[in-house]
């Protein structure tokens, strides 16, 4: 893991605003080296991955957050997944032969929506949906927070030169003071001076000092972030069992085996006739012996 793959949290000591910075280096490279994405798609996917990491930390989720952008344009799907263990993975899909528009998410996706799914053990699955009506991923997420969380939230995202990064500011629930609005607006104006090249290249501690040098900012110890795929042979086996013996046997009869590839990490799984038979033998409940007369 690269030492630069980190999530940083910080707060402003004098007013109720918190923030996060995420930098993805080796973890981002592990995502993109498995697929030959065009540069424009790489930028969108990197921004989505940085955003998902920031959001998963912001809502203090003990589980998995999945951010999915779906549309009918040249860019069909962006999926970014982040967990409370600070692991990430992501994929993108495009229409065959189509050119993805740069710099305008609405044009790239066409008629589209963003779906946020939060999954945690022992808790009901949460899903929020918002239409993509803004030109950037950051602006779409800001609209999502305004609609669902009702917390003023701003994001700045970038993906270039092999690094994906993001900055999030959020106004915390607190007793209103006359100066709170002014403080919130001031730090957002300062953050708006941040450029993409600066976001991906300047160390977070120095970045905060540049942006907010007149503010009293507390920076907490960073958390490491890593690429990790959750696919496994056991998960594929469970999916095949769910399909049913007849359908799976039909695939084996037609193709000689069942082949499955993970879209996130390109891992390949193969189940031949013997493997399939073992799957359903294992899934068959034991029959109790007949009662003695």
Report the CATH number that the domain containing residue 275 is assigned in CATH. 3.90.1280.10
* Contacts of 162 by beta carbon, 8 Å cutoff, 6+ apart: 25, 28, 29
Residues 135 and 256 in one domain: no
Residues 223 and 237 in one domain: no
Residues 145 and 263 in one domain: no
Residues 276 and 169 in one domain: no
Instruction: Compute the distance between CA of residue 169 and CA of residue 176 in angstroms, rounded to an integer.
Output: 18
Residues 238 and 219 in one domain: no
Residues 186 and 223 in one domain: yes
pLDDT of residue 247: 82
DSSP 3-state assignment of 207? Answer: helix
Q: What is the pLDDT of residues 204-249, one digit of tens each?
A: 999 999 999 999 999 999 999 998 767 667 777 777 778 888 888 8
Where residue 175 falls among pLDDT bands split at 50, 70, 90?
Answer: low
| pLDDT(293) > 90 | no
Q: What is the pLDDT of residues 121-149, one digit of tens each?
A: 777 788 889 999 999 999 999 999 888 76
Residues 211 and 86 in one domain: yes
The two structure tokens encoding residue 205: 């501690």
DSSP 3-state assignment of 81? Answer: strand
The two structure tokens encoding residue 218: 């507390």
- Give the bridge partners for 87, in sequence order: 226
Residues 213 and 248 in one domain: no
């Amino acid at each position: 893991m690269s030492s630069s793959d980190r999530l940083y949290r910080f707060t402003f000591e004098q007013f109720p605003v918190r923030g996060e910075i995420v930098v993805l280096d080796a973890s981002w490279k592990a995502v993109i080296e498995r697929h030959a994405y065009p540069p424009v798609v790489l930028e969108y996917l990197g921004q989505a991955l940085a955003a998902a990491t920031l959001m998963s930390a912001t809502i203090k989720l003990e589980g998995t957050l999945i951010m999915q952008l779906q549309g009918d344009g040249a860019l069909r799907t962006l999926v970014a997944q982040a967990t409370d263990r600070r692991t990430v993975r992501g994929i993108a899909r495009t229409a065959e032969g189509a050119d993805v528009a740069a710099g305008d998410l609405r044009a790239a996706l066409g008629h589209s929506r963003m779906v946020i799914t939060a999954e945690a053990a022992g808790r009901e699955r949460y899903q929020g949906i918002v239409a993509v009506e803004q030109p950037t991923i950051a602006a779409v997420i800001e609209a999502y927070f305004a609609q669902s969380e009702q917390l003023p939230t701003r994001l700045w995202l970038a993906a270039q030169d092999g690094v994906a990064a993001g900055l999030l500011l959020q106004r915390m629930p607190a007793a209103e003071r006359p100066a709170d609005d002014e403080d919130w607006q001031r730090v957002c104006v300062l953050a708006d001076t941040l450029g993409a090249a600066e976001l991906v290249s300047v160390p977070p501690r120095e970045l905060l000092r540049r942006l907010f040098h007149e503010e009293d900012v507390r920076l907490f110890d960073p958390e490491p972030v890593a690429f990790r795929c959750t696919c496994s042979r056991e998960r594929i086996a469970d999916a095949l069992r769910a399909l049913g013996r007849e359908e799976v046997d039909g695939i084996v009869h037609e193709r000689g085996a069942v082949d499955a590839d993970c879209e996130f990490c390109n891992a390949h799984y193969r189940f031949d006739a013997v493997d399939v038979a073992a799957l359903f033998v294992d899934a068959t409940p034991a029959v109790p012996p007949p009662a003695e007369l």
